[in-house]
Structure 1
Amino acid sequence: MRRLWKALRWLAVLVVLLPAGLVLFYRAVPPPATPLMVIRSFEGHGWQRDWVPLAEIAQPLREAVLAAEDNRFCTHWGFDLVELRKAVDTWRDGGRLRGASTVSMQTAKNLFLWPERDWLRKGLEGYLTLYLEVLLPKARIVELYLNSVEFGPGIYGAEAAAQAHFGKSASDLSLWEASLLAAVLPNPLQRSAGRPDDFLAGQAARIRTRIDQLGPMLDCVR
């Protein structure tokens, strides 16, 4: 029993310290890869990614991503309780249970976890999100997100997406181009920012309008 308790104590220390060490490492060093990049490469999607600092990503893209994915990013601590309540209420009324994931939660998933939806992954995602919010500034979380998120088959991060879809640097993206890129995020394997259909164009227009509506709520990425 003493050996078992000793092993459990070491396991508890590992569970606490390992995530903290990884998050602090990524506070200073760009992640070399993500689990999704590896998985997609085995699926034959390729691997196009160029890390750029947040200052070299056009402000419209920073704003568009938050307008599309996480309106309250600048004010919450990793979890949007308003959206979580809405998701629970919708489920109770017989609707589909949605994730209500924040950008912080998506960043935790992108950096450390697998893409399939299951309760184990969601639990680990929530646990790791706490480390991101405690140990990283908001700007770094957005920087990690925008350099790791999937924008198309084999296309990861803002710079690779800007080059692939518009033939320009991420720093030169227009508001409309940024809105199109943000609009593909829910389904990057099926939608193309460079070849938008009517549905995608409509989503991008709504995102562009939403940026104006949010105003100072996006100040942490300006």
Structure 2
Amino acid sequence: MLFRPPASQPPKPETGARAGAARWRPLRRVLIWVRWFALRVLLLMAVLVGFYALVNPPTTWTILSESRSHAISPREWVDIGDVAPVMRRSVVAAEDANFCLHWGFDMTEIRKVVASGSSRGASTITQQTAKNVFLWQGRSWPRKLLETIYTPMIEAFWSKQRILEVYLNLAEFGPGIFGVGAASREYFGVSPAQLTPVQAARLAAVLPAPKSRSPQRASARSRSIADGAATIARDGRASCL
């Protein structure tokens, strides 16, 4: 009797668990790649933040964009120690009175805005610095997401004085006028160290709308900022400056 090999058996159908795993395998690969990419983006962001903790940013996307429509006033980096203390306090009083107390996000101010239903922002100086140094102007969810990631990184790597120094040197004070050095020279003919309380308050008053406000005229806002600067000096909220 001739020996016949056993007939080949048809492959058994995959069990439910195996079939489910096979279906999810492509998605798992995508998620692994996304995680790999996200981790490297975060690492690059952290490296940039660490780099600018030591090196002054030479320019920004905002300055480059403005240079297409306005001549940029000569800029020279001003160390925080060469900025009049009253100017530091005035900017903090105008833009972020709790700057010395928070870790990048002013939760107290955010809750107030949410509770009031107001459309005004609660952006801190740290958030504005993140936007000015690393990102672009305008409102979009991608930009806001990146700003939200950069902000705690900046607070972790930079001192409060460094944050304020970078902010003051990159903030726009008028068409083509960037930085407290260019602004104090352009509007008042003095160095940042020589700014008076009135001049400092007027400069700080233009920051929300530098193209439509002039620091050469007193306003209710500049007077309020002068009072606010004196207040945070008294109550200790300027202790980190």
- TM-score (norm: length of structure 1): 0.90
- CA–CA separation in structure 1 for the residues paired with 2:159 and 2:80: 12
- CA–CA separation in structure 2 for the residues paired with 1:212 and 1:47: 31
Please, which of 139, 144, 148 is the counterpart of residue 117 of structure 1?
Answer: 139
SS of corresponding position for 2:53: helix
Equivalent position amino acid for 1:13 in 2: L
> In the alignment, does 2:203 pair up with 1:185?
no
> In the alignment, does 2:228 pair up with 1:210?
yes
Equivalent position amino acid for 1:101 in 2: S
> In the alignment, does 2:112 pair up with 1:86?
yes
> In the alignment, does 2:154 pair up with 1:132?
yes
Q: Does structure 2 conserve the Cα–Cα contact (< 8 Å) formed by 1:48 and 1:154?
A: no
> In the alignment, does 2:80 pair up with 1:54?
yes
**Gapped regions of structure 2 (runs ≥ 5):** 1-25
> What residue is the counterpart of 1:19 in the other structure?
45
Percentage of identical aligned residues: 43
- CA–CA separation in structure 2 for the residues paired with 1:181 and 1:68: 10
- CA–CA separation in structure 2 for the residues paired with 1:59 and 1:159: 14
- CA–CA separation in structure 1 for the residues paired with 2:69 and 2:175: 10
- CA–CA separation in structure 2 for the residues paired with 1:6 and 1:82: 38
Cα gap change, 1:46 to 1:88, in 2 (>3 Å): same
- CA–CA separation in structure 2 for the residues paired with 1:118 and 1:47: 29
Q: Does structure 2 conserve the Cα–Cα contact (< 8 Å) formed by 1:64 and 1:211?
A: yes
CA deviations over 1:175-211 (Å, ceiling 9, x no partner):
1100000000010011111x31xxx522111111112
- CA–CA separation in structure 1 for the residues paired with 2:143 and 2:30: 27
Q: Does structure 1 conserve the Cα–Cα contact (< 8 Å) formed by 2:70 and 2:175?
A: no
State the Cα RMSD in Å.
1.6
Number of equivalences: 213
Structure with the higher fraction of residues in helix conformation: 1
SS of corresponding position for 1:151: strand
SS of corresponding position for 1:127: helix
Alpha-carbon shift at residue 51 of structure 1 (Å) = 0.6
Q: Does structure 2 conserve the Cα–Cα contact (< 8 Å) formed by 1:37 and 1:47?
A: no
Equivalent position amino acid for 1:164 in 2: E
- CA–CA separation in structure 1 for the residues paired with 2:76 and 2:36: 38
> In the alignment, does 2:121 pair up with 1:99?
yes
> What residue is the counterpart of 1:220 in the other structure?
240
Q: Which has the larger radius of gyration?
A: 2
> What residue is the counterpart of 2:58 in the other structure?
32
- CA–CA separation in structure 2 for the residues paired with 1:44 and 1:213: 37
- TM-score (norm: length of structure 2): 0.84
- CA–CA separation in structure 1 for the residues paired with 2:99 and 2:183: 22
- CA–CA separation in structure 2 for the residues paired with 1:44 and 1:165: 17
Equivalent position amino acid for 1:219 in 2: S
Higher relative contact order (CA closer than 8 Å, sequence separation 6+) = 1
Alpha-carbon shift at residue 49 of structure 1 (Å) = 1.9
**Gapped regions of structure 1 (runs ≥ 5):** none
Equivalent position amino acid for 2:69 in 1: E
- Deviating above 6 A after TM superposition, structure 1's stretches of 4 or more consecutive aligned residues are none
Equivalent position amino acid for 1:154 in 2: G
